[in-house]
Chains A and B, each alone.
Chain A
Amino acid sequence: MNVLIDVATDLRDYLPELLGGLRLSVILTLSSLVLGLPIALALAFGVTAAHDVLRWACVAVVEFGRGAPVLVVLQLAYFGLPDAGVTLSAQVAATAALTLMSAAYLAEYLRGGIAAVPPGEVEGCLALGMSRRDTLRYVTVPQGVRIALPSMMGFSVMLFQATSLAYSVAVPELMSRAYSIGSSNFRYLSMFIAAGLLYAVIAIPCTWASVYLEKLLNRHA
């Protein structure tokens, strides 16, 4: 019970600072998504390209982005790159790492979505004499994105939660703030619970929204 009181007091006292961290977490999430999405679309087509070198390169990027633990990619960007002559600030490094991850995961979802577009619709386009580019632009990509949307939303929530790991590369996001406040008032438990609640307050409704969206989209098709 003490704990709950602690959490409540700490939230009241430190909310501004925690919210500042939360804001940074959200910024990290959104920038990685915005940067990653176009790359993901290119990768989604690239992994099935006819050109061998292009295909292998895209597959390698996707497999690396999906197969490597987030923490490793983050540390690679912040601690590893300087050895190769590229020194990035904490936030830029974290954004780069998370963008790679987003591009890789979203590419897989988009590829699945595009593949799930009924082939009959593509045939309809061809029979009408529509060019391949127009077919992609008006039918394949819009439908593919629509189909992939629930998974992509689910991924966005996971990405948001993954930003908590950016604490390990000195990004002053929510976790970092909670930890540093905790190390000054020694109330780690309540600080972390407070942080957890702040994450949950965003993550849980977003998850509900994506489930609702999935049901909605299934009715329309």
Chain B
Amino acid sequence: MPSDDADLVHTVAAEPAAVRVSGLSKTFGAHQVLKSVSLDVPKGSVTAIIGPSGAGKSTALRCMNLLERPDSGVIQIGSHIIDIDHGVSTRNLAALRRSAGMVFQNFNLFPHMTVLRNITLPQQRVLGRSRDEAEAIAHQLLARMGLPDKGSQYPNKCSGGQQQRVAIARALALGPEVMLFDEPTSALDPEVGAEVLEVMKELASEGMTMVVVTHEMGFAARVSDQVVVMADGGVIEKGAPQDVLHHPEHERTARFLHAVLER
């Protein structure tokens, strides 16, 4: 058994969390949507956030890149830290958002631009890449997503699953340290959703740090390293998938899982 000193050294030398939020709280009018939510996502791992509707899962995720502004808390992505109580500087925020890529339930592609331009424009405007460089990277990513010929098409000509994969490519093109997924397959048919989950699985196996809000229990069980269960604005349970999903400690978790598996 290692001595305490060795333990300490090991802990200090371990990879820092790629994503860490602590004390996230938010109130909408009279309703407290987030009650001091805290969680860590180690680098290179996948965390799935599950729970009943209205639990605040999406809100918590959207607080991570400040699409929603929490009332208090500390957000850390990679080496960028934002402490709400100390104010949010624009530069800091921009840097944090560059390190975190986000994929939305409704894709949020730009309908008036081709698929290629959807992916190249952010590279050019946010990272200052040249057009040629941006296009080369875009083509690479499209090929990786299994959509090598879709560049010149408009989003509305692509299926839902294809659009979501374009959205993933668009986020990846900026080279983020972390990828945030907000119910990426909820707006898709199960068959089509599977394509997207495949891509996400590959991304995970390549070592991307991912936080995924999802209803896909299969994905949570097989791909994630940590499952976080939220309900009523708070984290009620977290741990390894086999523990949380098969041997939940809390009654609320058990109830939720039971309802989900029943369907």
Contact code string A183-221 (vs B, CB < 8 Å = 1, else 0): 000000000000000000000000000000000000011
A128 B170 Cβ-Cβ under 8 A:
yes
- Residue pairs across A and B with Cβ atoms less than 8 A apart, 16 shown, are A118-B108, A120-B108, A121-B111, A124-B167, A127-B65, A127-B100, A128-B102, A129-B98, A130-B126, A131-B125, A138-B121, A138-B125, A142-B112, A220-B111, A220-B154, A221-B111
Contact code string A61-81 (vs B, CB < 8 Å = 1, else 0): 000000000000000000000
State the CA gap A143–B170 with chains docked (Å).
Answer: 19
For A142, what are the chain B residues with a Cβ–Cβ distance below 8 Å? Answer: 112
Q: Taking the complex as formed, is A123 at the interface, i.e. its CB lies under 8 A from any CB of chain B?
A: yes
Q: Taking the complex as formed, is A49 at the interface, i.e. its CB lies under 8 A from any CB of chain B?
A: no
State the CA gap A125–B112 with chains docked (Å).
Answer: 14
Given the contacts A123-B67, A221-B156, A129 and B108 also touching, CB distance less than 8 Å? no
Given the contacts A146-B112, A221-B156, A128 and B106 also touching, CB distance less than 8 Å? no
Q: Taking the complex as formed, is B23 at the interface, i.e. its CB lies under 8 A from any CB of chain A?
A: no
Question: B-side interface residues toward A, CB under 8 Å?
Answer: 65, 67, 94, 97-98, 100-102, 104, 106, 108-112, 121-122, 125-126, 154, 156, 167, 170-171, 174
Within 8 A of B (CB), among A96-133: 118, 120-121, 123-131
Q: Taking the complex as formed, is A139 at the interface, i.e. its CB lies under 8 A from any CB of chain B?
A: yes
> How many A residues face the partner with a CB closer than 8 A?
20
| A-B contacts besides A121-B108, A125-B122, 17 pairs, CB < 8 Å | A120-B108, A121-B109, A121-B111, A124-B104, A124-B108, A127-B65, A127-B67, A127-B102, A128-B97, A128-B102, A129-B98, A130-B122, A130-B126, A142-B112, A220-B111, A220-B156, A221-B156
User: How close is B213's CB to chain A, nearest CB, in angstroms?
Assistant: 14
For A125, what are the chain B residues with a Cβ–Cβ distance below 8 Å? Answer: 122
